[in-house]
Amino acid sequence: MTKYSFLLIVLITLFGCKNKPAATVEVTDVQTPFVWENANIYFMLTDRFNNGDTSNDLSFNRKDDAAILRGFKGGDLKGVIAKIEEGYFNDLGVNAIWMTPIVEQIQGAVDEGTGLSYAFHGYWTRDWTALDPNFGTKEDLKKLVEVAHKNDIRIVLDAVINHTGPVTETDTVFPENWVRTEPQCSYQDYATTVTCTLVKNLPDIRTESTENVELPAHLVEKWKAEGRYEQEVKELDAFFAKTGYPRAPKYYIMKWLSDYITEYGIDGYRADTVKHTEESVWQDFKSVCDAAFDEFKANNPEKVIDDNDFYLVGEIYNYGISGGKYFDFGDKKVNYFDDKFTSQINFEFKWNAAQNTYEDLFSRYSNILNNELDGFGILNYVSSHDDGQPFDAMREKPLESATRLLLSPGSAQIYYGDESARILVVEGANGDANLRSPMNWDAIENDVKTQEILAHWQKLGKFRSNHPAIGAGVHKMISQEPYVFQRTYSQDNFNDAVVVGLDLPAGEKELSVGSMFNEGDLLYDAYSGKEVFVKNGKVFIKTPYTLVLLGKTKISISSPYISF
């Protein structure tokens, strides 16, 4: 929860009552609640963001022989911690960080037709109970969560239950009662999307199974060599006794993933490849995560950052907000919201952003979120790690990308480098490797144009993070020409209202604020840093910019790339 303590003196002149003395209004301890429906979630490939420890760049005798952008590049938890402490995320208005999986990955490499690839992306699990040393240690994770929470930032990890990593010369296949290695999915209907392997040589966890199975021999051998076999078995015995679940593969994995909640206090999970498992898996996963989060909060009341429930966002590939609560497999529609996910990634947003006017985009999203999806959320994005058709592939519209993403109803996913126009097309790279170039820190440090782009994202991000009305509120257009809209949000005793103008003329501007604010109210433009008073239902402001972001909260931005 962000807290602002200040004394605001507003002289309110009542229209038609010239002789009445001005009123003094004192506003103190304004508290802005964090709500996931309005979250600014920064999504990073952990390996590609920032290298904070060069000593762990190639663990397990991994080699530097991968195809272009298909090997480890050194990003790690220490690198993320450093950027949190520098204030990079706070300057951007980020209040949650989602990282690709950091659990131990396969050690070898495979060629899927795009060149030799290592598990730098984190989606090829070898051991869910350990962190991959390329990313850091459990002590690093503990510090990351602590530092993030101190800065009002939540940590979302990535949960993979659908599959293990590929089989290599050094990475054995899990037992047959744990995984299937065929058939390969053809994606024609529900069955050929769920009960199959995503691609060749990606063993599929038998998530439909309720059969009791033993631990894989290679994990037993590994844990014994590491001196922790007895402790792992003891914890598993306690979990299965407590929950009553059978010792089936999916429940082992749920237990291991829940440990990162009870031990470190992470705030959420993004669930990978959701539609490739039975929907009941996610109902059970929610129950396990909720219980683990309740346990952490009970045991660590001083570490609880807010009173939100555990966050679960699902990746149902190609789900769009137009589907409401349902995803259509062709022969079957499935509701992944009720009793499963807090939110879902909205793969439709990039198309809507490209094809719709601002008003069509904003009003339709607000209507769906405040009706059919009331109580749930969506996560919008303009680019991502596995979507080869981003909103702005050549980074020709970085300012519009920010404006559409950060002012749209719903939560916002800022994919690392969106805010700095990091390249998404790399010479010599194949497929999704193009989307995964290293973070362009040098451009941020030295390139003026990049700094101007970043400043735009920072202003919008800070405005959004301080105003839940943006993502979680109700949208209403005030005027079409010039385009001005309002958003309102209420929760318990907290009320929030903003007025935004887009595509305005540079220089002097006149905006109607409708009925949102009272005569004489003092408002702040978060884009220019200027203060204005409401007069006759309007504000008059002179800035060199073409957008105005009005609210009652004065927003502090410490970025070196912004000066008011």
pTM of the predicted protein model: 0.94
CA distance 94 to 88: 9
Look at residues 304, 373, 307 and name the one whose alpha carbon lies nearest to residue 338.
Answer: 373
Over residues 55-75, the mean pLDDT reads: 96
Q: How far is CA 173 from CA 131, 163, 190, 200, 228, in A?
A: 20, 11, 26, 13, 22
| pLDDT at 26 exceeding the cut of 60 | no
* Region 81-107 average pLDDT: 98
315 among known catalytic residues: yes
Name all contacts of 176-180 with Cβ < 8 Å and 24+ positions apart.
177/206, 177/209, 177/211, 177/213, 177/249, 178/205, 178/206, 178/213, 178/216, 178/249, 179/203, 179/204, 179/205, 179/206, 179/249, 180/204, 180/206
**Residue 112 confidence class, pLDDT cut points 50, 70, 90:** confident
Q: How confident is the model at residue 20, as a pLDDT?
A: 32
pLDDT confidence band for 19 (50 / 70 / 90): very low
Q: Can you give the pLDDT at residue 560?
A: 87
Distance, in Å, from the CA atom of 460 to the CA atom of 444, rounded to the nearest integer, reads 18
pLDDT of res. 4: 39
What is the rounded distance in angstroms from the CA atom of residue 168 to the CA atom of residue 159? 22
Distances (CA, A) of 349 to 396, 413, 458, 463: 18, 11, 21, 21
Q: In the sheet where 522-525 sits, what is the strand order?
A: 474-479, 483-491, 494-502, 548-551, 522-525, 531-533
Task: Please say whether the beta carbons of 421 and 395 come within 8 A.
Answer: yes
Mean local confidence (pLDDT), 199-215: 98
- Token pair for 322: 């137009």
Cβ–Cβ under 8 Å, residues 341 and 312: yes
Band (457; pLDDT cuts 50, 70, 90) = very high
β-bridge mates for residue 23, sequence order: 12
Q: What is the mean pLDDT of the chain?
A: 94
Determine which one of 47, 315, 419, 496 is catalytic: 315
Supply 107's token pair: 């050690």
Catalytic residue among 127, 158, 272, 387: 272
* pLDDT reported for residue 558: 81
Q: Give the pLDDT band of residue 30 (cuts 50, 70, 90).
A: low
Give the model confidence (pLDDT) of 243-302 as tens digits.
999 999 999 999 999 999 999 999 999 999 999 999 999 999 999 999 999 999 999 999
Dist CA 203 CA 401 (whole Å): 37
